[in-house]
Chains A and B, each alone.
Chain A
Amino acid sequence: MRILLIEDDPILGDGLQVGLQQAGYSVDWLADGALAADALANDEFDAVILDLALPSRSGRQLLADWRDAGQTVPILVLTAYDALDDRIDGLDGGADDYLVKPVALEELAARLRALVRRSQGQADNCLRWDGIEFNRASGILSIDGQVLDLSAHERQIITALLERPGQTLTREQLASRLYGWDGGPESNSLEVHIHNLRRKLGRQRIKTVRGLGYRMAQPDR
């Protein structure tokens, strides 16, 4: 799951980025409101964590601009403003959730999962595709009831593929899911992860769309 984090406090921003990465999310962090405005236009994120008090452009303004532009990405407002009116304004202004600082990383992660799940029209945390069941909360993947052991990166890739089963994801999309803007260690590391996933799931479950990317496929029986 790829998250855009917009928070101007360096210590909190760093903590949220590292903490969410520990929980298996790919997190891109911006501290400036004006820079964040363009980030959503040019990149794909599963959810946004937005602080309201930002330099250059306030979080409220960003929220309003994004919603006016038709952005439907789930936005979680994380702020120090705790008054009831602030919460109501935030939610009415287009936020999907409103959390007051400080917040436990686990709760933040759970709320992000819930937001993404809802935005993808799923009832629970489980992604299912042709006998594969992946629980996003616990990170456990099973095929026909048999649990597989996956690395964090493999989990990211299979989540992305299972969220849009049948739809092709480009290598760039998958790489950004894995590493955000940091690029990642090597250009072929994605292929390594795909190779390992195929080994665990079965070769035919992840199909290579030549020149484009990858998609989930049903094995020939």
Chain B
Amino acid sequence: MNISLQTRLLLLMSVALAIGVLVTQQAGRYESRRTAAADIDARLGRVAHTLLLSWQVSNDLTVASIPALTVAPPAPDGKRLPVFEVTTFDNRVLLRSHDFPLRTHALRAAGPGYGNAEIENTRWRVFTVIDSQRRIICRVALNEHDRSLREATLAPHFDQPLLLGVPLILVLGWMSLVYGLRPLRRLSRELARRDATDLAPIRSVDNDAIVEIRALRRTLDGLFERLRHAVNAQRLFTAAAGHELRTPLAGLRTQIEVAQRAPDAQQQTHALERIARAGEHMEKLVSRLLHLARLDSGETEIARHTLDFAALVARISGDYARVACDGVDRPAELQGDASLLEALVTNLLDNACRHAPTDTPVEVTLAHHDHWLTLHVRDHGPGLPEADRARAFDVFYRGENTFGEGSGLGLALVRAIARAHGGHAGIDPPSRDGLCVTVRLPAAHRS
């Protein structure tokens, strides 16, 4: 369901308000009822004590001498006065209001203090005071009807402000929501205006006073930052790949033109041979690029077959006249992808041969201990300056003193393959001459 934050908040607010109003109203009802009851009880008590007091003042009067009191006039605001009677202990009526119920026994049955009685389906509240000294009883009562009348006059005092307030709260609430959500709308407008390639931090500073918006902006800025890095890395890789492919492509094109114009068969054969070599070189370059891209993205799960790494190293080293192997006579098993591991060893050896003069040996040592296979490849070339060591495994990094064709991908690929197998590759601290690259790979578990 599509619903705006504003509508959602407004709905939530309305529900909360409705619940609030209901609770307040109920509480008000209860309160008005309680207030009315207390009010009435107070009046009954006051009337009773007034009666007893006045009786005391004129206790010598006879019943007949105070007939005026027997008729209580109606209260001016429609409030009824309570009914009353004063009797002796033997129920002789000394004083009585004219509207005192005729069936008195229900009222007379109530004990001293406050009580309730029911006469002809009408509930009465009665207050009884016993003056044991003078042996008289005073009863003051008010019926249910008069009581609820009192409640009804009280209730609006609680309800009315509520009824007026609800629409006002709703309107003000809606306006506050519209106003309060303005920074969010502004942020959303700014993001909507953005170009797809624009990954700069969000500019709007005026929103920053609001904690939530600031947090949101920071989160988004963080995301943009990470995206920018990823896009940059991708861009650099693509640009560098373009550079690396341009040179062999230029060689290919030039050699084709040379072959086309060759005046004799010898020159043509020479050019065609170079064309074939350029093709091979580009093929190798592209396959390294693809390997790298796949390994970097973690896209492909590498195959894991148990294989003898020592035999693999020995076999590939055999193709290089300059390479001398040590420690490959005993099997050293690991789990991995044979073609990737071949690429790892080939790249290591190619790299060593390229960076060292042709008359120097390249030494390969394989060691097996603590569940790790360690492969050292040492050349006797110029080595790497301290500053460049950290960059040696970067994609497209090429040292200053390279001999022949290097792609700047070899060591990057070595590291990517080592990592894909759960191992790592590094350069040993300088010792004597040359460069020693070390690759550590986890050995296969022996059962």
Residues on A facing B (Cβ under 8 Å): 9-16, 18-19, 22, 53, 55-56, 80-82, 100-106
Are B247 and A101 in contact (CB-based, < 8 A)?
A: yes
Whether the Cβ atoms of B262 and A101 lie closer than 8 Å is no
Task: Please give the distance in Å from A36's CB to the nearest CB on chain B.
Answer: 14
Report whether A105 and B247 are in contact in the complex, using a CB–CB cutoff of 8 Å: no
B257 touching A105, Cβ below 8 Å: yes
Q: Which A residues are CB-close (under 8 A) to B248?
A: 9, 11-12
Q: Are A22 and B250 in contact (CB under 8 A)?
A: no
B247 in contact with A15 (CB, 8 Å):
no
**B residues within 8 A CB of A15?**
251, 253-255, 257-258, 271, 274
CB contact list, B270-288 vs A, under 8 A? 270-271, 274, 277-278, 281
26 A-B pairs (CB sep. < 8 Å):
A9-B250, A9-B251, A11-B248, A11-B251, A11-B274, A11-B277, A11-B278, A11-B281, A15-B254, A15-B271, A18-B258, A19-B257, A22-B262, A53-B243, A55-B403, A56-B400, A80-B244, A81-B243, A82-B242, A82-B246, A101-B246, A101-B250, A103-B253, A103-B254, A104-B257, A105-B254
Q: Tell me if A18 and B251 are in contact (CB < 8 A).
A: no
Taking the nearest CB of chain B, how far is it from the CB of A32, in angstroms?
A: 9
Given A14-B255, A55-B401, are A9 and B263 also a contact pair (CB < 8 Å)? no
B246/A56 in contact, CB under 8 A: no
Which chain B residue shows the least CB distance to A55?
B402
Q: Kindly list chain A residues whose C-beta atoms are within 8 Å of the C-beta of B261.
A: 19, 22
- B267 is an interface residue with CB less than 8 A from chain A: yes
In angstroms, Cα B254 to Cα A179, docked, is 21
Contact across chains for A19 and B254 when beta carbons are under 8 A apart: yes
Inter-chain contacts of A22 with B (CB < 8 A):
258, 261-263
**B250 touching A103 by the CB < 8 A rule?**
yes
- Contact status B404-A10, CB under 8 Å: yes
Q: Give Cα A11–Cα B252 distance, bound, in whole angstroms.
A: 8
Report the separation of the CA atoms of residues A19 and B268 in the bound assembly, to the nearest whole angstrom.
11
A56: which B residues are within 8 A, CB to CB? Answer: 400-401
Interface-central residue, A18, A56, A103, by most chain B CB under 10 Å = A18
How far, in whole Å, are A14 and B281 apart by their CA atoms in the complex? Answer: 15
Cβ–Cβ < 8 Å partners of A100 in chain B = 246
Interface residues on B, range: 20 to 34
Does B295 lie at the interface of the complex (its beta carbon under 8 Å from any beta carbon of A)? no
- Tell whether B249 is near chain A: CB-to-CB under 8 Å: yes
Q: How far is the CA of A163 from the CA of B164 in the complex (A)?
A: 106
* Chain B residues whose C-beta falls within 8 Å of the C-beta of A102 in the assembled complex: 246, 249-250, 252-254
Bound-complex Cα distance A103 to B247 (A): 10
Say if the beta carbon of B405 comes within 8 Å of chain A: yes
Residue pair A105, B258 in contact (C-beta under 8 Å)? yes
Q: How many Å lie between the Cα of A12 and that of B247 in the bound state?
A: 7
| Complex CA distance for A204 and B410, rounded to whole angstroms | 63
Q: How many cross-chain pairs have Cβ atoms below 8 Å apart between A and B?
A: 82
Residues of chain A lying within 8 A (CB to CB) of residue B247: 9, 12, 80, 101
With the chains together, A53 CA to B271 CA distance in Å?
24
Closest to A18 in B: B258
Q: Known: A22-B261, A55-B400, A55-B403. Contact between A80 and B252, CB under 8 A?
A: no
**Closest partner residue, chain A, to B275 (CB atom):** A11
Report yes or no: B271 in contact with A18, Cβ–Cβ below 8 A: yes
Distance in angstroms from B56 CB to nearest chain A CB is: 116
- Cα A53 to Cα B405 in complex, Å, equals 12
Complex CA distance for A185 and B226, rounded to whole angstroms: 64
How far is B263's CA from A101's CA once the two chains are assembled, in angstroms? 25
Inter-chain CA distance A103–B246, complex, in Å, is: 10
Top 4 nearest A-B pairs by Cβ distance?
Answer: A15-B254, A12-B251, A102-B250, A11-B251
Give every chain A residue within 8 A of B403 (Cβ-Cβ): 55
A68 to chain B, nearest CB (A): 21
Give chain B residues whose Cβ lies under 8 Å from the Cβ of A16.
Answer: 254
B residues in contact with A18, CB < 8 Å: 258, 267, 270-271
- Kindly provide the distance from the CB of B64 to the nearest chain A CB, expressed in whole angstroms: 126
The residues of B that contact A80 with a CB separation of less than 8 Å are 242-244, 246-247, 250
- List the A side residues contacting B400 at CB < 8 Å: 55-56
In whole angstroms, what is the CA distance A10 to B402 when docked?
13
User: CA–CA, A81 to B244, complex, Å?
Assistant: 10
Complex interface residues of chain B between 219 and 254 (CB less than 8 A to chain A):
242-244, 246-254
Q: Within 8 Å CB of B402, what residues of A? A: 55
The residue among A22, A56, A82, A100 with the most chain B CB atoms within 10 A of its own CB is A22
Residues of B with C-beta under 8 A to A105: 254, 257-258
A78 to chain B, nearest CB (A): 8
Tell whether, in the assembled complex, residue B250 and residue A14 are in contact, meaning their CB atoms are under 8 Å apart. no
Q: How many angstroms from the CA of A138 to the CA of B209 in the assembled complex?
A: 75
Residue of A nearest to B263 (CB): A22
- Interface membership of chain B positions 390-407, coded 1 if the CB is closer than 8 angstroms to chain A and 0 otherwise: 000000001011111100
The smallest C-beta distance from A122 to any residue of chain B, in angstroms, reads 27
Chain B residues within an 8 Å CB radius of A103: 250, 253-254
Q: A9 vs B217: C-alpha distance in the bound complex, in angstroms?
A: 50
Q: Specify the chain B residue showing the minimal Cβ separation from A16.
A: B254
The closest CB in chain A to the CB of B403 belongs to: A55
Determine the chain B residues whose CB is within 8 A of the CB of A9 once the complex forms: 247-248, 250-251, 405
Residues of B close to A53: CB separation below 8 A: 243, 398
Contact of A12 with B250 in the complex, beta carbons under 8 Å: yes
Most buried by A among B242, B258, B261, B278: B258
Q: How far is the CB of A70 from chain B (nearest CB, A)?
A: 27
A83 → B minimal CB distance (Å): 8
Taking each of A53, A80, A81, A103, which has the highest tally of chain B beta carbons within 10 Å of its own beta carbon? A80
Closest approach, in angstroms, between the C-beta of A98 and any C-beta of chain B? 14
